[in-house]
Structure 1
């Protein structure tokens, strides 16, 4: 079974997780190596694994947010890097969530 680099997280997670569930087997080793090699090959060639994924994701998030808000559901969008917190102010998240709760949930707006 070939393991392919994918554009969506829900497609790439199995390429990483399933080999972990089968840790220690020849299949798992080969599957993880195939995924690694394909991504490394694309990086070396300067080819994007997922062209414009961020833009498509941002548009999808925007429309989802607008649809929820139009239905009267308060939405808080958090833009953060869940891998590297160095660019994040440690107090910003609790402050942002608290302010949003005060303005949009508790105040009914």
Structure 2
């Protein structure tokens, strides 16, 4: 997880059409592996996330070290953008963007369903 500003005072983004929203493929998956990623510039974990039979398991580098241990992540469902191009992070290829929100201190809090849903389910 990197990316956009964590600034709570930032105005809302420019309006988009519904078809633009549909271009972003956000799916839920279950973390099946989580490991330290000491080579990352910012503290992060390497995740393997199972998105079900259609998409399979994809890898992600995620800056979740503030609130989560690798052991706490395994078995947890998370949301991720699955249709960005893969991104090289050091020697690791991150295939999906795991989604979260910044807390008051800027640390990432995961975005996930409040009930278990089938892996691979798409956000709408």
Q: TM-score range by the shorter chain?
A: under 0.3
Higher share of residues assigned strand: 2
Relative to the length of structure 2, the TM-score reads 0.18
Name the structure with the higher helix share.
1
Looking at both structures, which has the greater relative contact order when contacts are Cα pairs under 8 Å and sequence separation is at least 6? 2
Structure of larger gyration radius: 1
